[in-house]
Structure 1
Amino acid sequence: MAPPVSQPVSMLALSSSMARHAATRHALISQNIANADTPGYKAKDIADFSAVLKAQAMGQGEASLDPMAVIERPTVGSPNGNSVSLEEELMRGAAAKQDHQLAISMYRSTLGLMKTAVGKNL
């Protein structure tokens, strides 16, 4: 079996996708925290961005791992059936914030390189 053909990656598209992914994850974390006391509520999440990129790089395409598909996170629930852990959600929230900041930093750096390439000091 031949290795997958690599395609050039647009840093602007990559950073934009990463920022959207972090924002979606942050919204789900907020929803989980808001429902921390709701009986029977199951914590939700989306696949890690790195796992999505890895699946796409291996030639599995977007069909096998949708970056925005909401999944239930397997965790031990409370007696009322709720599976939200506030500590875990806060840690995931901090990680999502860090991912979003990285994406914005990548975007700004890429724009700076493009401006330098065309000779504009904006």
Structure 2
Amino acid sequence: MNPVNEMPSIMRLAADAARHAATRQATLSVNVANADTPGFRARDVAVFAPNAGDMPLRRTRPAHLGDGPTGIRSFETTDVPADPNGNTVDLEDQILRGIDAGRAHNRAVTVYRTALDIMRASLGRR
């Protein structure tokens, strides 16, 4: 029995959102670590899709949908110009993206904690 499947949907949604934010933060940290690596291309994670795992999708060819409906897909950022050495990591941009990922993680944890508090209150435990 998988405990994730036994969670109420709001808690599962919050756990998925926290996992997504953590993956994005890890991706951004790799970018920052390679800020001086010649030819390194910055990456980011696709926007969180809350119901991606609930609706079965059909793949018509192997490359369709990337990692599949439940995978977190990353992509190469193209909105930042490359340095003369071919590196596309802009530290200011990475810091702003990291702040956004941190806020998303905090929101997800707050939703999870609040749902847990509501469950405890409904059981008479506080």
Q: TM-score range by the shorter chain?
A: 0.7 to 0.9
Q: Is the 8 A contact 1:43 1:72 kept in 2?
A: yes
Query: Using the alignment, how far apart are the partners of 1:33 and 1:10 within structure 2?
Result: 35
Q: Deviations over 1:40-71 (max 9, x none)?
A: 0000111011xx237x49x6849736551221
Aligned residues: 109
Judged with a 3 Å threshold, the aligned counterparts in structure 2 of structure 1 residues 91 and 107 are, in CA distance, closer, same or farther, namely same
Task: Please tell me the residue identity of whatever aligns with 2:121.
Answer: T
Q: Does 1:53 align with 2:50?
A: yes
Task: Please tell me the residue identity of whatever aligns with 1:87.
Answer: E
SS of the aligned residue for 2:81 comes to coil
Query: Using the alignment, how far apart are the partners of 1:98 and 1:116 within structure 2?
Result: 27
Where structure 1 has 5 or more consecutive residues not aligned to the other structure, the ranges are: 1-8
TM-score by length of 2: 0.77
Question: What's 1:116 paired with?
Answer: 121
Query: Which structure 2 residues correspond to residues 1-122 of structure 1 after superposition, within 5 A?
Result: 10-49=9-48, 52-53=49-50, 56=52, 61=57, 64=65, 67-74=71-78, 75-121=80-126
Task: Please tell me the residue identity of whatever aligns with 2:72.
Answer: M
Where structure 2 has 5 or more consecutive residues not aligned to the other structure, the ranges are: 1-7, 60-64
Q: Deviations over 1:62-118 (max 9, x none)?
A: 973655122111131111110111000000011111011101100100000111111
- Aligned-residue sequence identity (percent) comes to 38
Higher helix share: 1
Question: What's 2:3 paired with?
Answer: none
